[in-house]
Amino acid sequence: AYKRFSELLPKEERESAFSARVPKNQILTLPELRANPFQHRICHVFSTSETKDDSMSFEDFLDMLSVFSDSATSDIKSYYAFRIFDFDNDGTLDRKDLEQLVNCLTGQGEESRLSSAEMEQLIQNILEESDIDKDGTINLSEFQHVVSRSPDFARCGSLQR
């Protein structure tokens, strides 16, 4: 992990990789993130940058790798997935978050974008299936409950080289 992290830094900074921060644009060059529709959210969620530039320290990088590893628990994976899907960082998945989530998964192109009616129906189905307290949003425990019923979730959340 240290070798991969230091390779993202300019040559002159590699000696001090433990104290360096890798810019977001370099993190996004990782093959595992390059095609990920949530690449920007992943950087945002794992970055501890005080300047909010989504750069990563070596510790941030290790956190990201450990969450996406095969050995991470389903609870850890679902917690971070929830944070990645919570686009407005308010602690719930509301209709706006769900719409952004669907758009990320289906692509932003004209040919792949859902119609307003299709989007509304899909969001309604997601909420009917997941919103246990019927407050119009999905909180972390509701999300984890839904995920616990999906045996493929833990296997799919891996960053493989």
pLDDT in tens, 16-34: 999 999 999 999 999 999 9
Does residue 50 carry a pLDDT above 70?
A: yes
- Identify the pLDDT of residue 107: 80
**In the chain, how many domains are there?**
2
Q: Are residues 20 and 64 in the same domain?
A: yes
Pair (16, 42) in one structural domain: yes
Torsion (CA) 106, 110, 116, 118 in degrees, nearest 10: -50
| Residue 159, pLDDT score | 52
pLDDT of residue 152: 73
3-state secondary structure of 152: coil
User: Tens digits of per-residue pLDDT, 96-110?
Assistant: 999 999 999 988 667
Quote the DSSP letter at residue 16: G
Q: Are 93 and 101 in contact (CB under 8 A)?
A: yes
Residues 12, 41: one domain? yes
How high is the pLDDT of residue 160? Answer: 44
At position 95, the amino acid (one-letter code) is R
Residue indicated by tokens 């990563």: 56
54 and 24 Cβ atoms separated by less than 8 Å: yes
Output the domain CATH number for residue 90: 1.10.238.10
Tell me: do 48 and 80 sit in the same domain. Answer: no
pLDDT tens track for 67-93: 999 999 999 999 999 999 999 999 999
- Structural domain that includes position 103: 74-157
Report pTM. Answer: 0.89
pLDDT, residue 135, reads 98
Question: pLDDT by residue (tens digit) across 104-161?
Answer: 998 866 777 889 999 999 999 999 999 999 999 999 999 999 998 887 775 555 554 3
Last residue of a domain, one of 15, 41, 68: 68
Give the CA distances from residue 79 to residues 72, 117, 146, in Å, rounded to whole numbers and listed in that order.
11, 30, 12
Last residue in a domain, options 68, 86, 110: 68
At which of 43, 68, 93 does a domain end? Answer: 68
Same domain, residue pair 100 and 62 = no
CA–CA separation, 130 vs 149, rounded Å? Answer: 11
